[in-house]
Amino acid sequence: MLISNHTFWDKAPPYFQDLCREWSGKQDPFENHINTLKSISFSRKIALHVNLLHTDGTLLLRDELVKTFYRLRDAHAEKITKISGIVLDGNPGIGKSAANLLFLIGCLAYQQPVFFTPRSGAIYYFSGLSVWKFKGPGSMINLEHILELEFPGDVRPWSLIDINTSPPDALVCSELFPIQTVSLNPEHYQTWKKANTARMWIMQVWKEEDLEDLYAMLSTDRSTFQVMVG
């Protein structure tokens, strides 16, 4: 549970608070969006801060992305063989930042506390209906800052990381379930992957049928669609 007198954390900007209120505990709407509607909309300010301005505020969800979210939920729930973390590797433009945002919204829907580090490097913590932002540069965060957020001992918050550098140790510590979406460059993740024995998953490229299915859903021309899906 979040405490109110934080030393290292401020309340996050309103657009992240709004995102939290929109999706917190909304499991059924979330499942409908990812399995039936195949899209999720979000504000332009969110798009700006998570490196998704090119999507025009609409996240198009191919089956690969949805299946990956379910795999991550299963990995997080594994009790016998605790998985220390996941490196989600993929080519540039394949949708890593989009995946990171989808996973965040999924955590909100299932009321799973989550640290969220978009491409900007700022660090946010979502829990219940509250969202906090780390006061200092993201690179300076340490375990003391993480533990100031008093989550219950039986809860292991997710740590979603979308930065193309090796993440701070605090974001990949054993108290968290770290997932780094990253381009194909071992320098971006090798140190923590080796130390934490994290698993490497590869994002599959878009299939032609995926693109055609998504295009059929939209009232747009081909050139605009190509920009939206990256």
Query: Which residue(s) pair with 41 in the sheet?
Result: 58
- Give residue 19's identity as a one-letter amino acid code: L
pLDDT of residue 32: 95
The CATH code belonging to domain 11-140+158-223 is 3.40.50
Domain ranges of the chain: 11-140+158-223
Inform me whether the pLDDT recorded for 229 exceeds 60. no
Inform me whether the pLDDT recorded for 7 exceeds 70. yes
Q: For 93-152, how does the pLDDT look when each residue is reduced to its tens digit (9 = 90+)?
A: 778 888 999 999 999 999 999 999 998 899 999 999 999 999 999 999 999 999 888 777
Q: Is 162 helix (H, G, I), strand (E, B) or coil?
A: coil
Inform me whether the pLDDT recorded for 86 exceeds 70. yes
Q: What secondary structure does DSSP assign to 78-112, as a single string?
A: --SS----EEEEE-TTSSHHHHHHHHHHHHHHTT-
